[in-house]
Amino acid sequence: METFSNACFSATFHWEDGLLSGIDLAPGLRPSTRPQSPFGVELALIVENYALLDKDEWPELPLATRGMSPFSLRVLGHLREHVTRGTWTTYKQLAAACASPRGARAVGRVMASNPWPLVFPCHRVLAVRGLGGFGPGLDLKRALLNLEGVCPPLQRPT
């Protein structure tokens, strides 16, 4: 387990048998640990400098994908490749892009169970009429989007 922080959030990386099994995000600073994994130094630099980055710079991380459905992997792969820093999409648009035009709720479930937020940037997926959900909280979702230059809707229109 490795935790790295910046002024906005902390990210704890969980490793099992050399595979990244999950990332926990939390708002605000937490004490950082010394890098322990082969990717630790690079991950620390990315998290610590997140606000300064122009593009996503995640290395190809070994992921613990066992038990994930092909649909989940397809959605996460499309998200990582096509919804880049400074952009966003909706659950509905992401579903359509993954050949499931009526699958917005299924995409929402994939985002809710995404074990690797930031690497697969589920915070960039919004509801048609607002922010939608985000496990670590909507304030952090909004803050991440703002760091990336996106000004999302603050609430649902009335």
Taking CA atoms, 142 is separated from 9, 19, 34, 116, 126, in Å, by: 12, 29, 29, 18, 10
Q: pLDDT value at position 157?
A: 39
What is the residue type of 67? G
Q: pLDDT value at position 156?
A: 44
**DSSP secondary structure letter of residue 129:** T
Q: pLDDT value at position 158?
A: 34
| Residue at token pair 């459905």 | 69
Q: pLDDT value at position 24?
A: 97
Per residue in 56-96, pLDDT (tens digit) is 999 999 999 999 999 999 999 999 999 999 999 999 999 99
Q: pLDDT value at position 154?
A: 52
Q: pLDDT value at position 153?
A: 60
Q: pLDDT value at position 155?
A: 47
Q: Which H, E and C letters describe 28-69, residue by residue?
A: CCCCCCCCCCCCHHHHHHHHHCHHHCCCCCCCCCCECCCCCC
Q: pTM, whole model, 2 decimals?
A: 0.91
Query: Domains in the chain, start-ordered, CATH in brackets?
Result: 2-52 (no CATH), 70-147 (1.10.10.10)
Both structure tokens of 61: 């991380």
CA 44 – CA 34 distance, rounded (Å): 9
Query: What residues of the chain score a pLDDT lower than 70?
Result: 152-158
Q: pLDDT value at position 68?
A: 97
Q: pLDDT value at position 129?
A: 86
Question: Which residues belong to the active site?
Answer: 122
Residues 6 or more apart whose CB falls under 8 angstroms from that of 143 comprise 8, 9, 27
What is the residue type of 8? C
Q: pLDDT value at position 71?
A: 97
Q: pLDDT value at position 152?
A: 66
